[in-house]
A = this chain, B = another copy of it.
Amino acid sequence: MATSNAPTLILSGARAALAAAEAHANRIGVPMNIAIVDSHCHLLTFTRMDGAKVTSINIAIDKAFTAAGHRVPTSSYKENVWPGGVAFGIWNTNGGRFCPIGGGVPIISEDGHVLGAIGCSTGTPMQDEEVASAGRDAVLAMIKEKVAVQTRKEEERQTKRARSDVKPVESVIFEGVILDQAKL
């Protein structure tokens, strides 16, 4: 095929993730910069909560960019990017946007598609990742619920169709007697 269709997060999904991430940031008392990108690493939303660091703005955006592009949490590189590691130097790639600091998590659907990613910054990387994860979990739950609703509706449609496939019998009149075709 010359083309393909692939799912990606859109603004409504990004906002669901953002709301949950903000709520969690408030819960732990760390104001965050929160960036959400789509499956192609392009920014969907960015939010700087009151008190978040201005030097964390770009970091949050780059964490999201990196997590969506490389499909793993930005905290996962560890020894791979330290001296001795096979990916030492990777922070310089993509025009310096590759960010191997914890706080970015990909948003991956149940059937394995990377829909986007969320990146947070201002706290410790562990706090950043915690907030990002809360956002990711919320939008995945929202998607799962929508899929469940759709599945139920589709099943109902198929049930109705099956029932209507049974054609209404036309009566047959023969010698003055009505024959029910269904019984023939």
Contacts and interface: CB of A to CB of B under 8 A. Distances in A.
Interface of A: 1-13, 16, 40-50, 53-59, 62, 65-66, 68-71, 75, 81-84, 86-96, 98-102, 109, 115, 124-126, 139, 142-143, 146, 165, 167, 170, 172, 174, 179, 181, 184
12 contacts: A2-B13, A2-B142, A3-B10, A5-B5, A10-B50, A11-B48, A42-B57, A44-B47, A45-B46, A86-B125, A91-B92, A96-B96
Given A1-B13, A10-B1, A54-B42, A100 B82 contact: no
A91 to B, nearest CB: 4
Contacts of A57: 42-43
Task: Enumerate the 9 nearest inter-chain pairs by beta-carbon distance, A residue then B residue, closest first.
Answer: A55-B69, A2-B13, A40-B40, A82-B83, A46-B46, A89-B91, A5-B5, A86-B125, A42-B54
**Interface on chain A toward B: helix, strand, loop, or mixed SS?**
mixed
Given A55-B66, A58-B93, A181-B184, A42 B50 contact: no
Contacts of A70: 53, 55-56
Nearest to A145: B2
Contacts of A184: 170, 172, 181
B101 A89 contact: yes
A100 B5 CA distance: 29
A125 to B, nearest CB: 5
